[in-house]
Amino acid sequence: MAIKISPSILSADYLTLADDIKRLEAAGCDMLHLDVMDGIFVPNISFGVPVIKSIKAHSNIPLDVHLMIDRPHRYIKEFAEVSDWLGFHFEAGSDNAELLKEIRKLGCKSCLTIKPCTAPEEIFDLLPLCDMVLVMSVEPGFGGQKFMPQSLDKLSALRDEIKRQGLNVELEIDGGINGETAPLAVKAGATVLVAGSYVFSDEMTDRVKLLKSL
């Protein structure tokens, strides 16, 4: 699979977000990563459906919506209406299999996310229901954290299991991705790179192109 880039707007300046999205489109970004946080599942609050709806109306980039919320089944339908890829956390306390099926039924590509404390083997049986798996390489909830090297072993284990099952599943990694950690993630099996502060800089275009070239 070709490497896809999904910049996280958690690191963006929201007053210039519209201009930045146009720059990301021009640079060839494949997705736009949107972290939805409720202050319960993670100790931070971000934004919800109205903000995502506005972004979708003014962008041609597919939206990669990452729900960091408690009991995500309560809001799947609303978020599916404004998402292209829709993911939630394995640890969030829902019927994961049924929720993945519902996301696909609603017309979105399904994504299952695991926190640093979760072993990849715990989701092996759910892989056939996933279009993408997101491995968190930091604790979810805040941007700008340091990359956790143990996430590379998780990527490798998931890559091998996806191959063993004969599946076509994207492997996404989120947290601390930059010019040094991105090549390590790709080597371990990542096909989608989420990058926040590394991309949202004065060197945005060059850094997106660098990541896409890996």
pLDDT in tens, 11-51: 899 999 999 999 999 999 999 999 999 999 999 999 999 99
Tell me, yes or no, if 174 is annotated catalytic.
yes
Average pLDDT over residues 81-98: 95
Average pLDDT over residues 127-140: 96
pLDDT at res. 168: 97
Please pick, among 20, 30, 64, 174, the residue that the annotation labels catalytic: 174
Q: Domain holding 164: CATH number?
A: 3.20.20.70
Structure tokens at 147: 């990359």
Q: How far apart are CA 185 and CA 153, in angstroms?
A: 10
Q: What radius of gyration do the chain's Cα atoms show? A: 16
Q: What are phi and psi of 186, to 5 degrees?
A: -65, -45
Domain count, the chain: 1
Please pick, among 20, 30, 35, 131, the residue that the annotation labels catalytic: 35
**Comparing C-alpha atoms, which of 4, 77, 7, 16 is closest to residue 35?**
7
Give the single-character DSSP code of 45: B
Which residue range is the domain that position 151 belongs to? 4-212
Tell me, yes or no, if 20 is annotated catalytic.
no
Is a pLDDT exceeding 70 seen at residue 201? yes
Is a pLDDT exceeding 90 seen at residue 142? no
Residue % of the chain over a pLDDT of 70: 98
